[in-house]
Amino acid sequence: MEYKELADLIFPNVKDASYYEEKYPERDLKEGAMVTRFAPSPTGFVHMGSLYTSFSAITLARQSGGVVYLRIEDTDQKREVENGVEGIINDFNNLKIYFDEGPTQGGNYGPYIQSERRDIYQSFAKKLLEEGKAYPCFATEEELKNLREMQELNKERIGYYGSWAKYRNLPVEEAINKIKNGEDYIIRLKSPGDFNNKIILDDCIKGKIEMPENDMDIVIIKSDGLPTYHFAHAVDDHLMRTTHVIRGDEWVSSYPIHKQLFEVLGFREPKYAHIAPLTIKEGTTIRKLSKRKDKESAISFYNKIGVPDEVIKLYIATINNSSFEEWYIANPDKTIDDYEFTFDKMPIGGSLFDLDKLMSISKVYFSKLTAQDIYKRTLEYSKEYDQEFYELIKDDSNYLTSLLNIERNIERPRMDIGSYSDVKKEFWYMFDTLFTKVDKPYQDVSYPYDITFIRDYFTKVYNEEDNEEEWFNKVKDFASSVGFAINRKEYKEDPTKFLGNIADFCSIIRVMLTTSNMSPNMYDLLKIYGKDKLLQRLDIFLKDVNN
Ligand code: GLU
């Protein structure tokens, strides 16, 4: 009776917990269907780490014919950022990652923002108060500080527990008086645990982990009336009927608290899958990928350079499941959705985040796209991120598409493009506006012999109508006539007899057009660029290189 009075005094106007049990019934799903959630705090953006965790939650729920929902965990109002919720929702939308339920789309188990669920938490806190399983704690900052100092001095475990928990056994009547007198308080769990007992977490990814039972009287409702993470986790994951709690492994050590809360509240415990963090190499050490320090952790970084969302997802899938990559290579026509993700292939320790690997996956991805598709996507990308290039390509899809088609539809296509911004980096020299903007395009180029013969090649020999074979035969004849070896063996026998070999001759043409010694197929480039313009480029080249 006394407990009831206390509970009514603290939470006079909340509904009975049974109301919510009825309001949020068990979900009617087929056997084995998982209900998972992604539960970020409203940090304003999605980063690689959160994408990685949400990826598991989403794929496992979808594959099993279950439900995945987004829940915003904003009970720590000190950490609020402006547009924190909208930012996250936008990022997911941009990535075309959708949840079945959440703050925007709604659902039968909402609200999906914790600060809007205050009454629900309070109902369950009230229930615990009524049952004598929770109590108001009036400890001041000062008292807690002293407690800590005493524990340190006595080399005791730090925390609010057992006989150290001063207000745990405060007579209810006294508590009622204190509240009536307006004293500040929070609500704590009256932990029934014993630190000497062992409990076991049977983690879906990490296997069995033994830990001491919780005996801390943890805070469940803070002075602002909102729950702590622990309490909200138990109430929400129960009422939202989560079957698998998939979350970062920094929460493993809190499991004893969570297990106990589920027991005390009379809830069935969900299964847990703790995901190891993404890590990064820094010198010789390995540390957690940081959303503050590491630029590659922000999704916006990939948007800016133009890495397609699909690639980000492919990379995440690759580090998420150890056999995904091999499977994907063996099944080039399949998509992520065709692969069956399982907990047992997820990494137990940290997964090394490797930007080079991500970019190489991207290059393979681009190599499978059609030139038209890349053109369209590059157009969209440059409209937002590179207005100058957008203007250059927007009215002539053929030009860029032909360039992108060079060595594309062959068994081993080129792998030089890994992002939409690479398209410009790869072909800038084919656009005169970009070329003429470069101050000294040939500044590193020099030859140990006079190369003016190249003018003769272009004016007298080069013919746009030639097919590739005819073209190359003429190149060889001309090169030979001006002193280049066209036969490797001959050249090897006595290089001093020649200006260089045929590759050296071709390189002059290549450098003239592209400024570099590496480029896609020369024959195609020359033809697409066109003879008239080649003669103009030749003038610039000869002027620059001879000076
Ligand atoms: N809001 C918690 C976090 O940001 C979520 C943990 C969980 O998924 O339960 O880490």
Residue identifier of the C-alpha nearest atom 4 of ligand 1: 40
CA dist., res. 29 & res. 104, Å (int): 23
Is the pLDDT reported for residue 293 higher than 60? yes
CA dist., res. 269 & res. 284, Å (int): 41
What's the domain range around 306? 290-344+353-367
Q: What is the model's pLDDT at position 498? A: 94
The answer to whether residue 431 sits within a structural domain is no
Q: What is the model's pLDDT at position 77? A: 74
Is the pLDDT reported for residue 87 higher than 90? no
Query: End of a domain among 275, 306, 333?
Result: 275
Q: Which residues pair with 287 in a beta bridge?
A: 280
For residue 450, what is the domain's CATH number? 1.10.10.350
Instruction: Compute how many other C-beta atoms are within 10 angstroms of the C-beta atom of residue 256.
Output: 22
Residue 227 Cα to ligand 1 middle (Å): 14
Query: End of a domain among 224, 250, 275?
Result: 275
71 lines ligand 1 (CB under 6 A): no
Same domain, yes or no: 223 and 300 = no
Residue 154 Cα to ligand 1 middle (Å): 34
Q: What is the model's pLDDT at position 80? A: 67
For residue 213, what is the domain's CATH number? 3.40.50.620
Q: What is the model's pLDDT at position 45? A: 84
The answer to whether residue 136 sits within a structural domain is yes
Q: Enter the DSSP assignment of 102.
A: B
Two tokens at 445?
């180029």
The pLDDT confidence band at residue 471, using thresholds 50, 70 and 90, is: very high
Residue 129 Cα to ligand 1 middle (Å): 26
76 lines ligand 1 (CB under 6 A): no
**What are φ and ψ of residue 501, in 5° steps?**
-105, -175
Q: Which ligand 1 atom is the nearest neighbour of the CA of 251?
A: 6
C-alpha 70: how far from its chain's center?
16
CA dist., res. 292 & res. 84, Å (int): 16
Residue 79 Cα to ligand 1 middle (Å): 14
- Burial 309-323, CB ≥16 within 10 A → b, else e: ebbbbbbbbbbbbee
Residue 111 Cα to ligand 1 middle (Å): 17
Q: What is the pLDDT of residues 159-198, one digit of tens each?
A: 999 999 999 999 999 999 999 999 999 999 999 999 999 9
Same domain, yes or no: 443 and 540 = yes
233 lines ligand 1 (CB under 6 A): yes
CA dist., res. 141 & res. 41, Å (int): 26
73 lines ligand 1 (CB under 6 A): yes
Q: How many residues does the chain have?
A: 547
Same domain, yes or no: 247 and 381 = no
Residue identifier of the C-alpha nearest atom 5 of ligand 1: 39
Same domain, yes or no: 137 and 251 = yes
Same domain, yes or no: 418 and 447 = no
Residue to mutate (ligand 1; options 36, 99, 247, 288; most atoms within 8 A of CB): 247
Same domain, yes or no: 127 and 271 = yes
Phi-psi region of 148 (alpha: psi -120 to 50; beta: other; left: phi over 0): alpha
The pLDDT confidence band at residue 221, using thresholds 50, 70 and 90, is: very high
Same domain, yes or no: 302 and 325 = yes
Using an 8 Å Cβ cutoff, are 278 and 89 in contact? no
Q: List, in sequence order, the alpha helices (H) in 306-439.
A: 309-320, 324-330, 355-367, 371-385, 387-393, 397-405, 420-427, 432-437
Q: What is the model's pLDDT at position 158? A: 97
Same domain, yes or no: 131 and 253 = yes
Using an 8 Å Cβ cutoff, are 160 and 147 in contact? yes
Q: What is the pLDDT of residues 340-395, one digit of tens each?
A: 999 999 999 888 999 999 999 999 999 999 999 999 999 999 999 999 999 999 99
The residue type found at 478 is F
CA separation, residue 516 to residues 428, 436, 442, 507, 510 (Å): 12, 16, 9, 9, 7
CA dist., res. 24 & res. 104, Å (int): 19
191 lines ligand 1 (CB under 6 A): no
247 lines ligand 1 (CB under 6 A): yes
Q: What is the model's pLDDT at position 1? A: 61
Number of folded domains that form the chain: 4
Residue 140 Cα to ligand 1 middle (Å): 28
Residue 50 Cα to ligand 1 middle (Å): 10
**What are φ and ψ of residue 419, in 5° steps?**
-160, 165
127 lines ligand 1 (CB under 6 A): no
Residue identifier of the C-alpha nearest atom 3 of ligand 1: 40
Is the pLDDT reported for residue 299 higher than 70? yes
CA dist., res. 503 & res. 476, Å (int): 10
Q: Which ligand 1 atom is the nearest neighbour of the CA of 37?
A: 8
Cβ within 8 Å of residue 533, ≥6 positions away: 432
The answer to whether residue 15 sits within a structural domain is no
The answer to whether residue 70 sits within a structural domain is no
Same domain, yes or no: 457 and 472 = yes
Region 506-530: what's the mean pLDDT?
96
Residue identifier of the C-alpha nearest atom 10 of ligand 1: 40
| E strand intervals along 264-342 | 271-275, 278-282, 285-288
Q: Give me the chain's average pLDDT, please.
A: 95
Two tokens at 128?
């615990």
The answer to whether residue 85 sits within a structural domain is no
Is the pLDDT reported for residue 546 higher than 80? no
The answer to whether residue 48 sits within a structural domain is no
Region 54-82: what's the mean pLDDT?
90
Q: What is the model's pLDDT at position 231? A: 98
Q: How many CA within 13 A on the CB side of residue 105?
A: 14
Q: What is the pLDDT of residues 383-437, one digit of tens each?
A: 999 999 999 999 999 999 999 999 999 999 999 999 999 999 999 999 999 999 9
Instruction: Compute how many other C-beta atoms are within 10 angstroms of the C-beta atom of residue 479.
Output: 25
